[in-house]
Structure 1
Amino acid sequence: MRFTPLSKHLLTIITYCAPTFMAMAQQALSTSSNLAEVHITPQVCIRDQLSESCQVELDAELKFTTPMNICLLIEALNIKQCFVHVKQVKFQQLLSIDENTTITIVNSDNNDLVYSKTLAIAEFKPANQRPRRNLGWIL
């Protein structure tokens, strides 16, 4: 039995994720001055080649310096969740996505953009393995 090294699989994932990470680094994100902390995970959803969509648990935690009325929008999935007069927000949602999806947080009082982030999809393509040949030779 022959095992492929883990580094080979990681290299495959990194190869497919590198363009996504570069695009995310170049993307200019608008942030509000009232926004103290933002934690939105995951940044990338990895699916195998056979899957059409990617299942991911979105966790968002936001902290503001002053209480705000905000809405979290995921337009591709028609999700809109609003919060009234909050200094801290925690949001969890199971998502099924099939393309890069933008998560937007807006001030619901004046529709100003508070924060925007893209949840990217990467595709995992395992390396082709040689078929095992068992010729049935018994010695």
Structure 2
Amino acid sequence: MTSEFSPTLFIDADACPVKDEVYKVGQRYRLKTYVVSNAFMMIPTSLLIARVIVEAGPDAADDWIADHVGPGDVVVTADIPLAERALKAGGQAIAPNGRPFTENSIGAALAQRALMEQLRSTGEFTGGPKPFDRNDRSRFLQALDEAVQKARRRRP
């Protein structure tokens, strides 16, 4: 008889527009959820949700998450290098717009990020990402639910 695995959820919380959705999914599946940020932020009162405040610094929250994520865990982040680190640790990573980062897509995402950084450094106007909308939120909820179901079916 095998027991069902319960992944941990990690939110790269600074500027994350889908924290409430992560809380809801985490509560539904009774999953430990870490809200990692560089500053204090309000979180729901729950034994399953923990606030982690890291030192100020460009990658401090990313480093904390990468040090704690394990096989099957789910990281919610728009940060592509953090997504790559989560995948290397055996976890899953999902962007707030619902796009899952995978072993097959992370290389292209890193290359696109490097290209955009190069263009910006030369003064090129790149326009930035499109505004976050209701469809992104819906895609995110579906992707997060699928990631949790996938993690629960497999044992790391």
Larger fraction in helix: 2
Higher relative contact order (CA 8 A, sep 6+): 1
Give the strand-richer structure, 1 or 2: 1
Is the structural similarity TM-score above 0.5? no
TM-score by structure 1 length? 0.23
Q: TM-score, normalised by structure 2?
A: 0.22
Larger radius of gyration: 1
